[in-house]
Amino acid sequence: MHRNLLVLPFVLLGLFGISSSAQAQKGTVAGTITSNEGGSVQPLPFVNVVLKGTTTGATTDLDGKFSFPAEPGTHTLQVSFVGYEPAERTITVVADQRTIADVEMKTQGIEMAEFEVVQVADREREGVLVMERKETTAMVQKIGAQELKKKGAGDVAEGVQKLVGLSTVGGRYVVVRGLTDRYNSAYLNGMPLPSPDPDMKVAPLDIFPTDIVESISVTKAFTPELYGDFSGGAVDIGTKRATGENILKVSLGGGLNTQSTFRDHRSYNGGGNDFWGRDDGTRSIPAGVLSQGVNLNGERLPFAVNFNPTSKNAAPDLNFGIYGGTTFKLGNEITLNVVGTGNYRNENRYRNGQLRIINTSNTPLVDYTMESWQFNTQTSALGSASLDLGKRHGVGVTSLWVNMSSDEHRINYGEHFDYQDNVYARRYTYRQNTMLTNQIFGRHAFGMQERLLVEWSGAMSTADAAEPDRRQLVYLYTPGDEESEYRFNAIDRLENHRWFSALQEEETTARAGVSYRLLQRETAEGFQPILVLRTGAQSKQKSRDFGYDIFAYSLQEVNAQNPNGVALNNPDQYLDNEAYQDRTLTIAKLTGPEAKHTIEQSVNAAYFTTEVDVVPQKVKLMAGARLEEGDQRIIYRKQSDSFYQARRVARIQSTDLLPFASVKYDINKKDIVRASFSKTISRPGFREMAPFEYTEFFAGTKNIGNPDLKNGENYNADLRFERFFGGGELIAVGAFGKVLDNTIEKVALATASGQLQSFRNTGRAEVYGVELEVVKNIGAIVGTDSTFWNDLSVGMNASLLHSQLTIVDDRTADANSAEVVLTNDVRPLQGASPYLINFDLSYSRDLCENVKGTFTVAYNVFGKRVFAAGANGLGDQYELPVNTLNVVARADIGKKWQANITCRNVLDARFQVEQETPAGTSLINDYRIGPSFSAGISYRIF
């Protein structure tokens, strides 16, 4: 009996097919739909079963079973499901009798290609995800591994861009409905995911290769089980899970970028393990340096002599991976599923462009040409095990390790208004970000009809971001100077330096939740919930330690000894041990009091929701609230502090009650309307509340945090209409509106020096928009049986968005602060595009016997969006629309081999940022990354 609880939603679905029990003259069609994967026959849920040329049909339940009444006679039974070859059976229906039609479906080549996960509720498949979406009360959008592959998404950041209303900044940071980092949150398997980037709340999503992903889901409307610190979207990355079959697959691929590969690639002498993205210690601060005091006075130069640039030919991109999984049957109804995957990829990339700072006369104050050569690696390992103890109990663990490295040789050269000469800055930056998370989770059902359900989880994570031994030398030159005639910029002592920074973050989270069906009704099909209560508690404890050391090279004496100039490409000759010993070169450790800080955050919450079937099978109401208590503090010193002074503490404590209500109305079996209302909060980012000054990049704007920040408050409303056609097809239209109060905004402050930005609770923003989403088979649209059209499917989503932020300068609240000098008090939110369009067209068919071809074109464009707010009479900076076109071709050869060719950025999009001034508009940032082509094969060993 209790099994009915689990399958209840699907039984309900099946009921759609049974319109009335008083149809005595009709017969019944029933059967089981299965799939055969490598000899293992599995029931296939959510499959569309219809009588050809009619609307009569049903959808299979979790056990692959279906049943529906039909007029007597001979019919053609059509069985279809995304990822499977459509099947047809001729059946004869006799009045008052039951006709059994069992069908075993064959996967399409595209599925075999993955050699992955063909199982009950396989969330990698689009069709399954669409069904889940139909059932859920919450507004969730998902994209599975299959669709990600099909659309050529190599990482999660590229993947989320396929969803309606989502885009990214810089291909890394997610923007949901025009709301940037602050308004979003990230989860891994439902547990909070730490960010290895100190400036960002949400982890850069490009660190997760799609190879470890089962599905990505984005919740755009708050429910009380989520942490309250979001308004845009909560991204949940579901990692691969064991599927019950034995599998082992290896893959290998290579690629090239038109403006990078086989071209000159500048670098420097790094470490021996750089290929693997792990510094071998070469970049560590040498032993004994830190104990030497401010002015290094050891006998020998402690640092390596390694400022010279090197040059080589850029090798092609490389990637390889392994994926395996198995299931152990440990007893009756007890199974242990294990899955593991490891992936590595690297790339060489070059880009060049312009970097300008202009004034209101549209005259550049800074006009640099930027050239950057990067070697990037990404390594990930995922291990997951789950133990199923019958239907009632299950526990599991997941461990994920991600390592990402970026090694950059960058030069900026050109004019700076403050120097008589031109500036040439060369910087070597090695960044290594590592994240490890260990999760444990379980699920237990109790009581009659399993009316009590307990779910719990816990995770411990660490995230490290290191920037060891960044090296920078800045030269001055006059245009036309020979390479040997440059001078070091010796005036600005900090410009010539070695920098070492490290950030360590630890996070522990726990959650326990209980769901209890207080009232239920027994029907012929099983128990239906009438009133469900859910409650639970969550806790997140997080700490971060950040610190840096900077060693400034004083080069005045080097300049003095080389009156005819220094060699631009051989600086090492002036910076060696000899120079150090004769004091031509002196080095000072200029690590200031602001160099180290600690941040602690504690969030504890309890939630309660109730779900009521107001009108059975028609109207479902869900309401609840979350009580969240937050306490975050930063322990720091300012740049202007002394070590004689005590550390400073800035602290924000808050208790928020976050209400929520949503309603789901099933108009009929296809059409659903949902509405949702909620209140959420925005906590200040860790760095935003830290009042020390830092610069984002060479010649970049300075930022200083504000310890007086408060939480922002967000009010959200959503309305959505969806029509589900079965087989993964749907059309959805949505509208939403948000009011963001006390928004925390980055503001420009009047300052004596250059540019200074800080953060204030000065804004009130309104965001509203509409969203459209279509997933359709073209054949169904055109209304044809033509094979060509039926092999063609289209996916499209678009959003129109209006956002308006109003900035109020509240200097009156604190007279002793600098004035906000933003040019426009009213503007769109930063990162919010007025429109977003994602479009993909996919064609899939048999090329010849045993070879299945799939061809996908995916296009994405975002409208002009605010890149940064303009200040001091300068207009806002706008990032111009970027048209991205990816083309993916895949071939599945037999059951073991799969090959793919992916072309990314076929249009060679230009990334441009423009700024208006009273004297005209200028491009202040302008570069291309070039198209990339990659090819790969994978082989399934068993």
**Cα 523 from chain centre:** 43
Residue 564, both tokens:
């005819």
Residues 288-347 close enough to bind other proteins by CB under 8 A: 294-295
In the complex, the smallest distance separating the C-beta of residue 513 from other proteins, rounded to whole angstroms, is 8
Neighbours of 642 (CB within 10 A): 8
Residue 546, φ and ψ in degrees, nearest 5: -125, 145
Q: Report the C-alpha gap between 930 and 906 in whole angstroms.
A: 8
Does the footprint of other proteins cover residue 560 (CB under 8 A)? yes
Does the footprint of other proteins cover residue 590 (CB under 8 A)? yes
**Cα 186 from chain centre:** 8
What DSSP character marks residue 495? G
Nearer to other proteins among residue 516 and residue 768 (C-beta): 516
In the complex, the smallest distance separating the C-beta of residue 884 from other proteins, rounded to whole angstroms, is 34
Nearer to other proteins among residue 139 and residue 188 (C-beta): 188
Tell me if residue 214 falls in helix, strand or coil.
strand
Window of 31-39, 697-705, 881-889, 896-904 that interacts with other proteins by CB under 8 A:
697-705
Does the footprint of other proteins cover residue 22 (CB under 8 A)? no
Window of 70-78, 377-385, 439-447, 889-897 that interacts with other proteins by CB under 8 A:
439-447
Binding mask 257-296 for other proteins (x = CB under 8 A): -------------------------------------xx-
Window of 99-107, 139-147, 148-156, 445-453 that interacts with other proteins by CB under 8 A:
445-453
Residues 865-884 close enough to bind other proteins by CB under 8 A: 872-874
Cβ-in-10-Å burial (0-12, 13-18, 19+) of 37 comes to buried
Interacting residue with other proteins among 140, 512, 796, 798 (CB under 8 A): 512
Sequence letter at residue 521: R
Residue 316, both tokens:
């092609």
Interacting residue with other proteins among 76, 556, 581, 921 (CB under 8 A): 556
Window of 86-94, 178-186, 312-320, 744-752 that interacts with other proteins by CB under 8 A:
744-752
Residues 620-639 close enough to bind other proteins by CB under 8 A: 633, 635, 638-639
Strand partners of residue 388: 335, 394
Q: Do 68 and 29 contact (CB within 8 A), yes or no? A: yes
Window of 371-379, 699-707, 714-722, 761-769 that interacts with other proteins by CB under 8 A:
699-707
Nearer to other proteins among residue 539 and residue 883 (C-beta): 539
Q: Which distant-in-sequence residues (6+ apart) come within 8 Å of 326 by Cβ?
A: 242, 245, 246, 247, 337, 338
Residues 461-480 close enough to bind other proteins by CB under 8 A: 478
Does the footprint of other proteins cover residue 446 (CB under 8 A)? yes
Residue 387, both tokens:
């133990």
Residue 715, both tokens:
């009010």
Nearer to other proteins among residue 496 and residue 761 (C-beta): 496
In the complex, the smallest distance separating the C-beta of residue 682 from other proteins, rounded to whole angstroms, is 24
Q: Report the C-alpha gap between 151 and 775 in whole angstroms.
A: 13
Q: Report the C-alpha gap between 79 and 47 in whole angstroms.
A: 7
Interacting residue with other proteins among 810, 819, 825, 908 (CB under 8 A): 819
Window of 18-26, 254-262, 317-325, 591-599 that interacts with other proteins by CB under 8 A:
591-599
Nearer to other proteins among residue 418 and residue 483 (C-beta): 418
CA dist 764 → 126, 545, 744 (Å): 38, 32, 9
Count of residues of this chain found to bind other proteins when the rule CB under 8 A is applied = 91
In the complex, the smallest distance separating the C-beta of residue 611 from other proteins, rounded to whole angstroms, is 17
Nearer to other proteins among residue 72 and residue 458 (C-beta): 458
Nearer to other proteins among residue 480 and residue 643 (C-beta): 643
Window of 195-203, 235-243, 357-365, 719-727 that interacts with other proteins by CB under 8 A:
357-365
Does the footprint of other proteins cover residue 548 (CB under 8 A)? no
In the complex, the smallest distance separating the C-beta of residue 638 from other proteins, rounded to whole angstroms, is 6
Report DSSP letters for 123-185, one per residue: TTSHHHHHHHHHH-SS-EEEEEHHHHHHTT--BHHHHHTTSTTEEEETTTEEEETTB-GGGEE
What element of type H or E holds 3? helix 3-15
Window of 101-109, 114-122, 442-450, 618-626 that interacts with other proteins by CB under 8 A:
442-450
Does the footprint of other proteins cover residue 106 (CB under 8 A)? no
CA dist 71 → 18, 94, 103, 105 (Å): 13, 8, 20, 25
Q: Report the C-alpha gap between 928 and 911 in whole angstroms.
A: 6
Nearer to other proteins among residue 339 and residue 552 (C-beta): 552
What DSSP character marks residue 935? E
Residue 437, both tokens:
């998370």
Nearest partner of 502 among 549, 540, 457, judged by Cα: 549
Does the footprint of other proteins cover residue 531 (CB under 8 A)? no
Residues 479-508 close enough to bind other proteins by CB under 8 A: 490-495, 506, 508
Tell me if residue 8 falls in helix, strand or coil.
helix
Report the chain's C-alpha Rg in angstroms: 30
Interacting residue with other proteins among 702, 723, 764, 802 (CB under 8 A): 702
Residue 450, φ and ψ in degrees, nearest 5: 50, 45
Does the footprint of other proteins cover residue 753 (CB under 8 A)? yes
Q: Report the C-alpha gap between 833 and 880 in whole angstroms.
A: 10
Does the footprint of other proteins cover residue 593 (CB under 8 A)? yes
Does the footprint of other proteins cover residue 591 (CB under 8 A)? yes
Window of 81-89, 201-209, 587-595, 894-902 that interacts with other proteins by CB under 8 A:
587-595
Helices (H), 484-590: 556-561, 577-581
Interacting residue with other proteins among 361, 484, 617, 850 (CB under 8 A): 361
Does the footprint of other proteins cover residue 818 (CB under 8 A)? yes
Window of 57-65, 512-520, 731-739, 773-781 that interacts with other proteins by CB under 8 A:
512-520
Long-range contacts of 719-722 (CB under 8 A, 24+ apart): 719/673, 719/674, 719/675, 720/139, 720/673, 720/674, 720/675, 721/671, 721/672, 721/673, 722/133, 722/134, 722/671, 722/672, 722/673, 722/674
Token look-up 């291909």 returns 171
Does the footprint of other proteins cover residue 418 (CB under 8 A)? yes
Residues 637-696 close enough to bind other proteins by CB under 8 A: 638-649, 693, 695
Interacting residue with other proteins among 541, 573, 804, 824 (CB under 8 A): 541
Interacting residue with other proteins among 78, 99, 554, 577 (CB under 8 A): 554
What DSSP character marks residue 240? P
CA dist 257 → 254, 703, 894 (Å): 11, 34, 30
In the complex, the smallest distance separating the C-beta of residue 662 from other proteins, rounded to whole angstroms, is 25
Does the footprint of other proteins cover residue 420 (CB under 8 A)? yes
Nearer to other proteins among residue 559 and residue 682 (C-beta): 559
Interacting residue with other proteins among 85, 132, 421, 713 (CB under 8 A): 421
Nearer to other proteins among residue 151 and residue 597 (C-beta): 597
Does the footprint of other proteins cover residue 576 (CB under 8 A)? no
Nearer to other proteins among residue 696 and residue 908 (C-beta): 696
In the complex, the smallest distance separating the C-beta of residue 440 from other proteins, rounded to whole angstroms, is 9
Q: Report the C-alpha gap between 606 and 766 in whole angstroms.
A: 29
Does the footprint of other proteins cover residue 416 (CB under 8 A)? yes
Q: Report the C-alpha gap between 260 and 53 in whole angstroms.
A: 55
Does the footprint of other proteins cover residue 816 (CB under 8 A)? yes
CA quadruple 573, 574, 576, 582: dihedral sign: positive
Nearer to other proteins among residue 509 and residue 799 (C-beta): 509
Q: Do 313 and 262 contact (CB within 8 A), yes or no? A: yes
